[in-house]
Structures are given as C-alpha cells and as structure tokens.
Amino acid sequence: MERLQHLLISLYLLILSINLTTTTAQSPAPAPAPPGPTNVIKILKKAGHFKTFIRLLKSTQLDSNLNSQLGNTNNGLTIFAPSDSAFSALKTGTLRTLTDQEKVELMQFHIVPMFISSSQFDTVSSPLKTHAGSGARFQLNVTASGNSLNISTGLTNTTISDTVYTDTNLAIYQVDKVLLPLDIFTPKPPPPAPAPAPKLKAESESPDDGVSKKDISSAVSFIMYHDTVFFIVGTVVAISFSL
C-alpha cells in the first residue's frame, strides 16, 4: 500500500515536471500581441475627414511602420494629419507630379518620431526632426504664438487646428494645409527639377487622382506614371504649337 502511494506520487511529480518543461519551452516563442495596440489608421478613420491622408499612408506602406513603431519606441510619435480639405486645397496636380519616393517623403515629413504634447511645443526646439530627415531642406518649425501653435516649413504657414488624439505616447494633430517640405517643392541644386507640368482642364476635375490606387512598389506603374506625365507634356506642347 505504501509502495503504491509512493509510485503514484512519483508518477504525479513526473507528469507535473513534464508539464512545466513544456510550458516553459513554449512561452518565449511567439510574443503575444500587446492588448489593444494603438492603431493610427483606426483613429484617423474614426475622425472621418482624413481619407486622403489615410490612403497615402497606406499606399506608401507607412501605416504598418507607424503601428510597429508605437509598439517599439519609448519616444512615441507625433503626427500632423492634413484634413481632406487640406489636400483638395493643393494646387491641382501637386500629388500627381510626385514620384513614389517623393510621396513617401511627403508623408514622412508629417511624422515626428517623438511624442509632443500641445504644451510641450513651447520647449521643443525647432526645426523638428521628422521621419523625412532634418536639415535645411526639411524645416518644420512649430512655435507657440498667443493661443495658436504656428507651423512653418518655409513653403507652408499654418496652425494646428485641432487635437485629433493624444495619450502619453501618441499625439495626432489636425492641420488644414498639407505641410510642404522645401526638399520636394523647391528645385534641387545639382540637376534642376523639371518645370511643373502645365495645368490641363481634365486634371482639375479630379484633383485626387494622382493619389488613387497606384501600387507604390510596382515598377510597372511607376514607369506608366512617367509615361503619362511625358504624354501629357507632349500633348500640351503639340497643342500650343498648333495654336
């Protein structure tokens, strides 16, 4: 009887230890997702008037970067989100004439890899370093002026018009103008940037088309894009000659 008891106890201990080793062996494998991670796109969607910004974040594939950065960084993020009316106020064809790389840069220029609460803009030193880079061609100055927070890029003057979202790690501010970095919209020193494509009547009917469903990573659409630009320029030249 005592022997049986011993046997049962050792059997129990054996099973217990097998259980323990299997659970400890499993636990370091797939890190469990943090509960309810902050999702920038979800927040912007909920606000309802950032459709173009969302589309560009997705087409440039920056959206997934943002969410993983929020999970990894201690510094947090500050995002200046241009409203849909900010995008439609852009000069017709502005987005259309950008290369895929420039679209990425334009989006990155709206993202600061550091959490800045609205009261911290007083103490943060301008220009802010954005994801697009820093230096003379990437100026993004935010200065407190009376009750408003003024933003200046050298090409765009505007103010923060609303706080869309803030916690202790992420701040999203609404801006009513697209923040244009000098780097994209002023000629680069070595090879002068090509003259902006002349306005066409057809373009003004759909100012957003340049953003639309183009796959940013596809070389084919990239080439097609340039073909289209050259085709448009060629057509205009031909028309003006025939006038």
Nearer to ligand NAG, 55 or 129 (CB): 129
Do 138 and 182 meet the contact criterion of CB atoms below 8 Å apart? Answer: yes
Q: How far is the CB of 91 from ligand NAG (least distance, A)?
A: 13
Residues of the shown chain interacting with ligand NAG in the complex, contacts defined by CB under 6 A: 126-127, 139, 141, 145, 148, 150, 152-155, 157, 159
Sheet strands side by side (includes 170-175): 111-112, 77-82, 170-175, 157-166, 148-152, 141-145
Alpha carbon distance 153, 140 (integer Å): 5
Query: 191-207 burial, b if ≥16 CB within 10 A, otherwise e?
Result: eeeeeebeeeeebeeeb
Nearer to ligand NAG, 69 or 83 (CB): 83
Nearer to ligand NAG, 120 or 126 (CB): 126
Q: How far is the CB of 157 from ligand NAG (least distance, A)?
A: 4
Q: How far is the CB of 79 from ligand NAG (least distance, A)?
A: 20
Nearer to ligand NAG, 128 or 172 (CB): 128
Length reported for the chain: 243
Q: How far is the CB of 155 from ligand NAG (least distance, A)?
A: 6
